[in-house]
Chain A
Amino acid sequence: QQQVKQSPQSLIVQKGGISIINCAYENTAFDYFPWYQQFPGKGPALLIAIRPDVSEKKEGRFTISFNKSAKQFSLHIMDSQPGDSATYFCAANQAGTALIFGKGTTLSVSS
C-alpha cells in the first residue's frame, strides 16, 4: 500500500527528444506527487509536483501527467538536454507525512 513503483530503471534519450518516466501508486490517500532530480553526491531537488485535483501540470520543459483512476503519474521532459542527465525520483505522500520514493530512473541524454 505504501509503495511507489517507478519505471524504467534507466533511460537513454537523444538530445532534443522526449524523456518519459512513469510511476504508479497504491495508496489512494496519497494527495501530493512530486518529482525530484538528483545529481551524484547531491541532495534531491524538487522539479515539479502535482495534486490530484488536476490531470496535468507544466513548468517549462517539464510536465506531469496524472491519472487518478489508474493511480499513475508520469514525468515528461521535452527537448531533453545533456544537462538533464541525472537520476529522477517520483514520490508520493499525504500532507505532512514523509515522502515515499520510487526506486529512481537514471536518465542519460546523448549529444
Chain B
Amino acid sequence: GAVVSQHPSWVICKSGTSVKIECRSLDFQATTMFWYRQFPKQSLMLMATSNEGSKATYEQGVEKDKFLINHASLTLSTLTVTSAHPEDSSFYICSARDYRVSYEQYFGPGTRLTVT
C-alpha cells in the first residue's frame, strides 16, 4: 500500500514552453502533498505545500507564478512549470501524506525535467 505515482517520469521541453507534472496517491487519500526539487548530487528542497481544495503555500524564493500547483482532489496534485528555462531543469519529486497517519509521507518516483 501507500503508493505515489508521478507522470511523466521524464520530459524534455523547449525553452519558453510549459510542462505539467502529475502526482497521484494510488491507494490512499492525501489531504496534503508536497513538491520538492532536487539538483544533481544535492538534497531535496521543498518548493511548496499543497492542500486539497486550497491554494498552495510556496517556500521563500519559489516563484508562484512560474510553478503553478493545483490540488483539486484527494488523490491528485499537479505542478506546472510555466515558461520553462534551462535553469529549471531538475528532478521534481512529490510526496503525499495519508490523512489517517499523521507522520508518514510517501514519495513518488520523481520526474526528470530537461529544458533545452
| A residues apposed to B, CB below 8 Å | 32, 36, 41-46, 49, 51, 89, 93, 95-104
Q: Which of B44, B109, B110 lies in contact with A101, CB distance below 8 A?
A: B44
Please tell me if the beta carbons of B102 and A44 are within 8 angstroms of each other in the complex: no
Evaluate whether A44 and B97 lie within 8 angstroms (CB atoms) in the complex, with A96-B32, A99-B105 already known. no
Give the chain A neighbours of B102 by CB distance below 8 A. 95-96
**CB pairs A–B below 8 angstroms (22 shown):** A32-B103, A41-B110, A41-B112, A42-B109, A42-B110, A43-B6, A43-B107, A46-B104, A46-B107, A49-B104, A95-B102, A95-B103, A96-B32, A97-B49, A98-B34, A98-B46, A99-B34, A99-B105, A101-B43, A101-B45, A102-B43, A104-B43
Evaluate whether A45 and B107 lie within 8 angstroms (CB atoms) in the complex, with A96-B32, A96-B102, A98-B34 already known. yes
Chain B residue with Cβ nearest A104: B43
How many residues of B are counted as interface, with CB atoms below 8 angstroms from the partner's CB atoms? 23
Chain A residue with Cβ nearest B110: A43
Q: Is B95 an interface residue (CB 8 A)?
A: yes
- Smallest Cβ distance from A65 to chain B, in angstroms? 19
The proximity string for B residues 81-114 relative to A, scoring 1 for CB distances below 8 Å and 0 otherwise, is 0000000000101010100001111111110100
Chain B residue with Cβ nearest A49: B103
- Smallest Cβ distance from B64 to chain A, in angstroms? 16
Chain B residue with Cβ nearest A31: B103
> How far, in angstroms, from A103 to B84 measured CA to CA in the complex?
26
Give the chain A neighbours of B32 by CB distance below 8 A. 96
Give the chain B neighbours of A103 by CB distance below 8 A. 42-43
Given contacts A43-B107, A95-B103, A104-B43, 9 further A-B contacts (CB under 8 A): A32-B103, A41-B112, A42-B109, A49-B103, A51-B103, A98-B46, A100-B46, A101-B44, A101-B45
